[in-house]
Amino acid sequence: MNENKKPTLEICLTPDAVSFIDLTGKIAVIVDIFRATSCMVAGLASGVTHVVPVASVEDALSYKSEGYVTAGERNGEKVEGFDIGNSPFEHMEQEFKKIVMTTTNGTQAIEAVKNTAEQVVIAAFLNLKAVTSYLKSQNKDVVIVCAGWKSRFNAEDSLFAGALALKLKGDFWWEGDEILFSTHSYSSVKNNLSKILKHSSHYKRLKEHGVENDMDFCLEIDKFKNVPILKGNILENLAK
């Protein structure tokens, strides 16, 4: 909290930048628009009750005997031997209740904060309004952590961070140039978001795998009202 008595809001444009921030007592909001956090929000909004995010394929496979569906990708492609990949449509299959998930960047970003942040919250365009309301209700410092791509910046997560920061404007004390950059960038492209993001590196990578429908879906705003929160090692919806 700063001298203005408002909680602070910061953005980490890459997960590696988190190591420079003390997350003690803060809420870390994890963002991986294409597609990890969009899958988590969509799955948990559609009947999934537990999502366990893990760092490695081996960790994910160890949950299989406990009845978990194994989900995730490496480099955008389903992991060999897993039940499902990283498409939000797969995560919304009604028969799944418990999913264990590992992805190239999204679950790694969760790993990077889970032992130090006071809370870990999952955000996507799909639950933008719900996450905004939740963060406003908490009166705690917030760090938006963009999962990026293999430690590097990406456009879709950084633009989402700008969208969320704009929603939180007035209730938080903005810290760092990343907010200035992300909010101005989002304001200038918001009416052409999907057109602009078709030029992003991960869109092009995923297009090679023929999953353009996934990206269109991940850019839908406020489709769901749930807010996934990490409790121990499990992501669950915040109880209403």
- The residue ranges that bind ligand MLT (CB under 6 A) are 32, 34-36, 73, 76, 86, 103-106, 147, 206
**Considering beta carbons, is residue 10 or 73 the nearer one to ligand MLT?**
73
Burial label for 65, CB within 10 Å (0-12, 13-18, 19+), is exposed
As measured in angstroms, the least distance from the Cβ of 49 to ligand MLT is 21
**Considering beta carbons, is residue 124 or 130 the nearer one to ligand MLT?**
124
As measured in angstroms, the least distance from the Cβ of 86 to ligand MLT is 4
Tell me the pairing of strands 77-78 and 142-146. Answer: unpaired
Q: What is d(CA 11, CA 26) in angstroms, rounded to the nearest whole number?
A: 12
**Considering beta carbons, is residue 105 or 132 the nearer one to ligand MLT?**
105
As measured in angstroms, the least distance from the Cβ of 149 to ligand MLT is 7
As measured in angstroms, the least distance from the Cβ of 208 to ligand MLT is 12
Tokens of 20: 């420079």
**Considering beta carbons, is residue 104 or 226 the nearer one to ligand MLT?**
104
Select the residue whose beta carbon is closest to ligand MLT and give its number: 103
As measured in angstroms, the least distance from the Cβ of 102 to ligand MLT is 9
Kindly report the backbone phi and psi dihedral angles of residue 31, in degrees, each rounded to the nearest multiple of 5, phi listed first. Answer: -130, 120
Q: What is d(CA 186, CA 212) in angstroms, rounded to the nearest whole number?
A: 21
As measured in angstroms, the least distance from the Cβ of 28 to ligand MLT is 16
**Considering beta carbons, is residue 77 or 171 the nearer one to ligand MLT?**
77
Sign of CA dihedral 122, 85, 94, 111: negative
Tokens of 60: 């994910």
Cβ atoms 94, 48 nearer than 8 A: no
**Considering beta carbons, is residue 33 or 179 the nearer one to ligand MLT?**
33
Helices (H) and strands (E) counted in the chain, each on its own, are: 10, 11
Residue with tokens 């997960």: 15
